[in-house]
Amino acid sequence: MKSILCLALLATSAFALDYPRVIFSDDFAADGFGKAWGHYKSSSVVKDGVLVGITAPESDHAAVDVIRIAPETDLEVSVKFQFVSDQAKGFNVWLDDKDYKGSHAGHICSISVNPKAVVVADAKAGTFSNDIYARKKTVPPTLTAEDKANMLKWTKSVPTTVSLKEWHTLTVRTQNDVVETSIDGKVVSSFQSPGVAHDHKTVVSLTTNRIDVKYDDFSIKGVAK
């Protein structure tokens, strides 16, 4: 696969962990979602060998397509993706814990990819922690200076140019409190944050920010047991 990427950081993975254990995979060869998939406010479809991420125009939330897994600490999530046009605003890979009550919706960590940047966020310690999220959602918001500082502290944005209309491969790996993000085999971001070490990751999802994102060859892998 050829791709045009202007990356702020080009490197190979420094992780010592290996992820040989396949927890879930889907190549979307059959039309329609398999039984393992769940959805939240999603109009996404599977057809012609790919997952087409779609958020309905009237929706108040980006389309979420979800896989639930048994609790894991360290994971490797890989997916091929294509920004079909300049209407594509990007997508997120979320690592969450459906049973965790300390953050909104059990959010733990988010890796967001758009045509111009990769943004990694510790949702557990930052924006989606219950206290910060509640103050953010009040009208008007009542975020403190400390809240705003924490939201910035637990988020890392790396400028990245991802070419449109070409297929790329995103790989996300966690090792203890570090999350590493690679595109087409090159490390784009390595981010250390306490929430990443959460030992009960039970939800992996793709969140499509509106339209014109396609996905293929999605997999979730774990370390050897």
Place 11 in a pLDDT band, splitting at 50, 70 and 90. Answer: low
How many C-beta neighbours within 10 Å does residue 128 have?
25
Residue 116 identity (one-letter amino acid): K
Q: Look at 19-23, 111-115, 147-151, 179-183 and tell me which has the smallest mean pLDDT.
A: 147-151
Q: Tell me how far CA of residue 145 lies from CA of 33, 127, 128, 135, 224, in angstroms.
A: 44, 13, 16, 12, 43
- Rounded alpha-carbon distances, angstroms, from residue 119 to 122, 140, 181, 188: 10, 26, 10, 10
Alpha helices per DSSP H over the chain? 130-137, 145-153
Across the range 130-141, mean pLDDT stands at 94
As a whole number, the mean pLDDT across the chain is: 93
- Report pLDDT digits (tens) over 23-70: 999 999 999 999 999 999 999 999 999 999 999 999 999 999 999 999
Q: Is the pLDDT score of 9 beyond 50? A: no
For residues 14 and 51, the model is more confident at 51
Encode pLDDT of 92-111 as tens digits. 999 999 999 999 999 999 99
Which residues are 99's β-sheet partners? none
d(CA 42, CA 148): 30
